[in-house]
């Protein structure tokens, strides 16, 4: 997994990242990007215009990234804005739980195609005027899971888009929340203001004990909070709120989203006390199927993350947690608890 630090001005941060990716031989190209059809180019162009109005600093960063990569902006926009709207498959598991001593635990497995593993990256962002954060992703600019300096964690799982329209996709939404919000309540309020393009769940947790799963797409927005008597939320690649069930895709569940959801909930229900060891064990598949993919079929859990939000600690496994090592990440300076 590659590590990059970016900061200061959005355009300059994007340009520096683009140069670093190109130097590392990781510039997007025809060898690993899907064909940029006329539909994708039109989608990217329209989405970029929306991004300019709703998240201008991100668009500036994308322009810098394109220049650093020496890649046409239109090609990069078609790729980045289309990632969750023209997806290769759906994967990932998220949970948040109120742990021992009031600790708030956030965890996520990232499941993706093994052919893209060389492009997996962990970023330390310190853009001027925005919250610093550490986040992980399979593509630049957009973020799939992360935690910011104020102890807000966010992670996505995505779904096949039954409906879609130009706008901001799942990874861009997670990125915005980490850069601008401190609490789950703030994050939910911010999400409501965006033109959302893709279909996803976003699991949220903060150091004050707030937690929720937002299920949303281009047409609807629903919030799931812990059920009575429970101190956790969980999400995989399906909608579970009554309001979103009509947007479930009838496609094949190749990565066992239903099974992963049942395993995660059953493990969380079986405990009254949650700690770091439990979180690692859950993501490592010790309570049932969560990451035990047949790698020879081309997909696997490619990284895992556990964050202890009150302590301000981040742990990441850069590989499949059933066989690879967990390490602590010390890059982010957390703000003191109020």
User: 292-305, pLDDT tens digit by residue?
Assistant: 999 988 899 999 99
Tell whether the model's pLDDT for residue 33 goes beyond 80. no
pLDDT > 70 in the chain, percent:
96
Domains and CATH numbers, the chain: 2-82 (no CATH), 93-329 (3.60.60.10)
With beta carbons less than 8 A apart as the criterion, state whether 93 and 290 touch: yes
Mean pLDDT estimate for the chain: 93
Nearest partner of 128 among 3, 18, 10, judged by Cα: 10
pLDDT confidence of residue 272: 82
Mean pLDDT to the nearest integer, 17-42: 81
Between CA 200 and CA 22 the distance in angstroms is: 30
With cut-offs at 50, 70 and 90, classify the pLDDT of residue 124.
very high
With cut-offs at 50, 70 and 90, classify the pLDDT of residue 126.
very high
Q: In what order do the strands lie in the sheet with 2-8?
A: 2-8, 121-127, 133-137, 145-148, 152-158, 200-206, 211-216, 221-224
pLDDT confidence of residue 31: 46
Identify the sign of the CA torsion 212, 213, 218, 219: negative
With cut-offs at 50, 70 and 90, classify the pLDDT of residue 36.
confident
Mean pLDDT to the nearest integer, 227-235: 95
User: Both tokens of residue 32?
Assistant: 């690993």
> What Å distances lie between residue 70 and 20, 162, 331, CA to CA?
12, 34, 29
Between CA 141 and CA 153 the distance in angstroms is: 17
Mean pLDDT to the nearest integer, 174-184: 98
Tell whether the model's pLDDT for residue 29 goes beyond 90. no
pLDDT confidence of residue 105: 98
Pairing of strands 104-113, 299-308: antiparallel
Mean pLDDT to the nearest integer, 206-234: 97
With cut-offs at 50, 70 and 90, classify the pLDDT of residue 255.
confident
pLDDT confidence of residue 297: 86
With beta carbons less than 8 A apart as the criterion, state whether 275 and 103 touch: yes
Q: Output the DSSP codes for 279-328.
A: HHHHHTTTTSSSS---GGGTEEEEEEEEEETTTTEEEEESS-TTTS-EEE
The residues facing 326 across adjacent strands are 317
User: Could you tell me if residue 106 is left (phi over 0), alpha (psi between -120 and 50 degrees) or otherwise beta?
Assistant: beta
pLDDT confidence of residue 100: 86
- With residues binned 3-state (H G I as helix, E B as strand, rest as coil), the percentages for the chain, rounded to 5, are 35, 25, 40
Between CA 139 and CA 170 the distance in angstroms is: 12
Mean pLDDT to the nearest integer, 130-157: 97
Tell whether the model's pLDDT for residue 88 goes beyond 70. no
pLDDT confidence of residue 89: 67
pLDDT > 90 in the chain, percent:
83
With beta carbons less than 8 A apart as the criterion, state whether 177 and 214 touch: no
pLDDT confidence of residue 3: 96
Mean pLDDT to the nearest integer, 282-289: 97
Between CA 184 and CA 190 the distance in angstroms is: 10
Q: How many CA atoms lie within 13 A of 310 on its CB side?
A: 15
pLDDT confidence of residue 183: 98
CB-based contacts of 140, cutoff 8 Å, min separation 6: 17, 18, 21, 65, 80, 121
Tell whether the model's pLDDT for residue 252 goes beyond 70. no
């Amino acid at each position: 997994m590659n590590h990059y630090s970016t900061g200061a001005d959005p355009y300059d941060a994007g340009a520096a990242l683009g140069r670093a990716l190109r130097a590392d031989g990781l510039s997007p190209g025809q060898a690993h990007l899907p064909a940029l059809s006329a539909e994708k180019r039109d989608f990217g162009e329209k989405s970029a215009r929306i991004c300019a109005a709703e998240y201008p600093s991100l668009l500036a960063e994308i322009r810098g990234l394109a220049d650093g990569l020496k890649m046409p902006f239109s090609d990069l926009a078609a790729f980045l804005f289309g990632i969750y709207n023209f997806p290769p498959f759906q994967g990932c598991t998220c949970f948040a739980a109120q742990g021992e001593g009031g600790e708030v635990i956030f965890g996520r497995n990232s499941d993706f195609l093994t052919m893209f593993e060389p492009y997996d990256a962990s970023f330390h962002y310190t853009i001027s005027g925005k919250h610093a954060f550490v986040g992980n992703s399979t593509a630049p600019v957009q973020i799939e899971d992360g935690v910011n300096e104020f102890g807000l964690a966010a992670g996505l799982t995505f779904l096949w888009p039954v409906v879609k329209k130009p706008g901001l996709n799942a990874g861009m939404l997670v990125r915005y929340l980490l850069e601008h919000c401190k609490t789950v309540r703030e994050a939910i309020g911010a999400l409501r203001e965006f033109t959302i393009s893709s279909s996803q769940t976003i699991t949220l947790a903060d150091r004050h004990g707030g937690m929720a799963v937002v299920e949303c797409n281009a047409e609807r927005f629903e919030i799931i909070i812990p059920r009575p008597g429970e101190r956790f939320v969980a999400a995989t690649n399906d909608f579970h709120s009554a309001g979103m069930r009509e947007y479930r895709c009838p496609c094949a569940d190749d990565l066992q989203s239903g099974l992963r959801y049942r395993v995660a909930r059953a493990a969380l229900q079986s405990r009254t006390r949650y700690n770091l060891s439990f979180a690692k064990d859950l993501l490592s598949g010790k309570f049932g199927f969560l990451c035990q993919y047949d790698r020879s079929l081309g997909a696997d859990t490619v990284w895992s993350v556990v964050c202890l939000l009150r302590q301000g600690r981040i742990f990441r496994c850069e590989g499949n947690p059933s066989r690879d090592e967990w390490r602590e990440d010390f890059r982010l300076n957390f703000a003191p608890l109020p």
